[in-house]
């Protein structure tokens, strides 16, 4: 029986307006890959950050090597050998691989100058231990591929002589082949007795690398199970926590006339290739795909954020071209953008000002505004969307994620566009707020709005959409209707991953 390196007991972590972790237990053995799984906002990254010392838990304790530790920041955790391999790369692009690995702790010569030779030698040794000697440690990081950068990231982590490594969604940006080589590395690290915490929501990966799996939901630990002792369905049920049909409400309503249609849409970056989609009034159309499949890019083309290279957009069968967001808005297109903090809201400004951000000119066509009217509108939406706040004059930064998202929705509802694109509308918000947003989308569709929904959460796309386009590396590879035999997570998930459409399968 392997030794337990790390034990976390009764961990509770509070964020403004929500309990991110509630009395969670977790432990990790030597040479084990322990997967943390859960929906977005379930608390898996938060737990990882508590282990790494990035967050301080309000309650509970972490034991490392049978010794209670209280980390004050990641540096202290690092000193004990607990390192992270982050999802977003933390490498500096304009300096060499070796300099990156030893950033801020460079070897020095006797004169106190940086000892490049020694650093390069050590870096070379690390890369060799990862079977990556083909990566030149003198080359700049920006010249490396994403997978190579990930290897450098791992090499950097190894240079700390870790006992525990935390991988946060490491495969999100990797191609299949790159994933294979990453997994080979993880297996090797395992054999050396390193304990690995693996945060992910890609279920198909779990049997390939995992030993045990801990399911979190809404900040609560549901269960820890052996990887072989649990089927995918059981996992999903534990993650979602209820019969999926209860969460999603989709009333059957009539679809009338095509509101928006695109033909062979392409962008300049090569992220969107010949995309032809359509959405009718009263219809919710989902776009499923992996991160980087070109879904957000398609939305941004339609909303005029990025320029269209070729192809056509038709609104109500009229050929138009949204050149900029003002243009798109005039054409009746709204975008609930992916990143509400960066793109959705002016966080320092009041709920009221954010609510009227798009509709300002519509509400006050005569240039002069009335603060009273703005407040009335904001209060109306606060009531309708049940935004939990004491005052609409409060800055948005003080709201919880779910309530912030509701303000973004209020911003669009007050403008009332005919076509609404929802890009990851429920990312990082709690289940109650999610359900309200689903209800709202359903109501909007029933009122005759045309809705496009982009989401990485398959259950959500399947639960809400009348029709689903599957996108893979910039192309639409398939289209599946509700009611068809393939309208399920297995078929859609497989196509998202592999990029093969039903029709192509038939040809084979």
What secondary structure, in 3-state letters, does 12-80 show? Answer: EEEECCEEEEEEEEEEEECCCEEEEECCCCCCHHHHHHHHHCCCCCCEEEEEECCEEECCCCHHHHHHH
**Closest distance to another protein from the beta carbon of 16 (Å):** 5
Q: Which is nearer to another protein, 102 or 412 (CB)?
A: 412
Which residue of 132, 260, 329, 387 would you call a contact of another protein, by CB under 8 A?
Answer: 329
The whole-angstrom separation of Cα 126 and Cα 324 is 48
Q: Which is nearer to another protein, 216 or 387 (CB)?
A: 387
Q: Which is nearer to another protein, 47 or 329 (CB)?
A: 329
**Residue 239 binding another protein, by CB under 8 A:** no
Q: Which is nearer to another protein, 79 or 369 (CB)?
A: 369
Q: Are 212 and 235 in contact (CB under 8 A)?
A: no
- DSSP H or E run through 215: strand 212-217
Q: Which residues pair with 70 in a beta bridge?
A: none
- Residues from 161 through 180 that contact another protein (CB under 8 A): none
Q: Which is nearer to another protein, 348 or 485 (CB)?
A: 348
Q: Residues 9-48 vs another protein: string with x where CB under 8 A? A: -------x--------------------------------
**Residue 328 binding another protein, by CB under 8 A:** yes
What's the sign of the alpha-carbon dihedral 501, 452, 342, 298? positive
Size of the site for another protein (CB under 8 A): 30
In terms of phi and psi (left: phi > 0; alpha: psi -120 to 50; beta: otherwise), the region of 483 is left
**Closest distance to another protein from the beta carbon of 389 (Å):** 13
Pairing between β-strand 82-85 and β-strand 164-168 as defined by DSSP bridges: parallel
**Residue 364 binding another protein, by CB under 8 A:** yes
**Residue 369 binding another protein, by CB under 8 A:** yes
Which residue of 123, 239, 275, 345 would you call a contact of another protein, by CB under 8 A?
Answer: 345
- Residues from 255 through 314 that contact another protein (CB under 8 A): 303, 305
Which residue of 135, 335, 351, 387 would you call a contact of another protein, by CB under 8 A?
Answer: 335
Q: Which is nearer to another protein, 135 or 353 (CB)?
A: 353
3-class secondary structure, 119: helix
Surface-to-core class of residue 411, CB atoms within 10 Å of its CB (0-12 exposed, 13-18 middle, 19+ buried): buried
Write the DSSP symbol of residue 429. Answer: -
**Residue 347 binding another protein, by CB under 8 A:** yes
Residue 13 CB neighbours (<10 A): 22
Q: Which is nearer to another protein, 134 or 367 (CB)?
A: 367
- DSSP H or E run through 505: helix 502-507
Q: Are 247 and 463 in contact (CB under 8 A)?
A: yes
Which residue of 237, 343, 416, 446 would you call a contact of another protein, by CB under 8 A?
Answer: 343
Which residue of 325, 428, 459, 502 would you call a contact of another protein, by CB under 8 A?
Answer: 325
Residues of this chain that bind another protein (CB under 8 A) = 16, 303, 305, 324-326, 328-329, 335, 337, 342-349, 353, 356-358, 360-361, 364, 367-369, 398, 411
């Amino acid at each position: 029986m392997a030794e337990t390196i790390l034990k976390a007991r009764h961990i509770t972590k509070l964020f403004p307006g929500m309990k991110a972790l509630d009395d969670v237990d977790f432990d990790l053995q030597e040479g084990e890959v322990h997967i943390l799984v859960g929906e977005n906002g379930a608390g898996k990254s938060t737990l990882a950050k508590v282990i790494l010392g990035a967050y301080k838990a309000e309650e509970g304790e972490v034991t490392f090597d049978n010794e209670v530790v209280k980390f004050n920041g990641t540096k202290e955790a690092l000193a004990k050998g607990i390192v992270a391999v982050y999802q977003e790369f933390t490498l500096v692009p304009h300096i060499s691989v070796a300099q990156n690995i030893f950033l801020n702790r460079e070897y020095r010569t006797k004169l106190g100058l940086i000892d490049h030779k020694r650093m390069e030698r050590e870096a070379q040794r690390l890369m060799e231990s990862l079977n990556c000697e083909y990566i030149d440690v003198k080359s700049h990081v920006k010249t490396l591929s994403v997978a190579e950068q990930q290897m450098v990231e791992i090499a950097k982590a190894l240079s700390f002589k870790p006992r525990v490594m935390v991988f946060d969604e490491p495969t999100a940006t990797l191609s299949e082949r790159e994933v294979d080589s990453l997994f080979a590395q993880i297996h090797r690290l395992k054999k050396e007795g390193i304990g690995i915490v693996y945060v992910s929501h890609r279920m198909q990966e779990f049997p390939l690398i995992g030993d045990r799996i801990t399911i979190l939901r809404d900040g609560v630990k549901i269960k820890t199970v052996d990887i072989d002792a649990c089927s995918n369905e059981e996992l999903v049920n534990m993650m979602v926590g209820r019969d999926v049909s209860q969460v999603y409400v989709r009333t059957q309503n009539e679809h009338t006339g095509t509101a928006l249609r695109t033909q062979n849409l392409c962008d300049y970056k090569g992220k969107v290739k010949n995309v032809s989609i359509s959405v009718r009034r009263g219809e919710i159309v989902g776009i499923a795909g992996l991160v980087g499949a070109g879904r957000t890019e398609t939305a941004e083309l339609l909303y005029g954020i990025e320029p269209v290279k070729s192809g056509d957009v038709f609104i109500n069968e009229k050929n138009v071209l949204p050149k900029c967001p003002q243009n798109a808005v005039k054409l009746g297109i709204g975008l609930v953008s992916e990143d509400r903090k960066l793109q959705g809201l002016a966080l320092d400004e009041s709920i009221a000002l954010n609510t009227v951000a798009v509709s300002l000119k519509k509400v006050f066509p005569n240039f002069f505004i009335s603060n009273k009217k703005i407040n009335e509108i904001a209060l109306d939406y606060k009531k309708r969307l049940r935004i939990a706040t004491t005052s609409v004059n409060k800055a948005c930064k003080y709201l919880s994620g779910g309530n912030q998202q509701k303000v973004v929705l209020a911003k669009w509802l007050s403008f009332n566009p005919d076509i609404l694109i929802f890009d990851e509308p429920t990312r990082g918000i709690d289940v109650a707020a999610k359900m309200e947003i689903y209800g709202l989308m359903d109501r909007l569709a029933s009122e005759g709005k045309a809705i496009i929904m982009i989401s990485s959460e398959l259950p959500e796309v399947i639960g809400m959409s009348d029709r689903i386009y599957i996108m893979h590396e910039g192309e639409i590879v398939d289209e599946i209707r509700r009611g068809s035999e393939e309208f399920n997570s297995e078929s859609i998930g497989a196509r998202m991953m592999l990029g093969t459409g039903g029709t192509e399968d038939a040809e084979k």
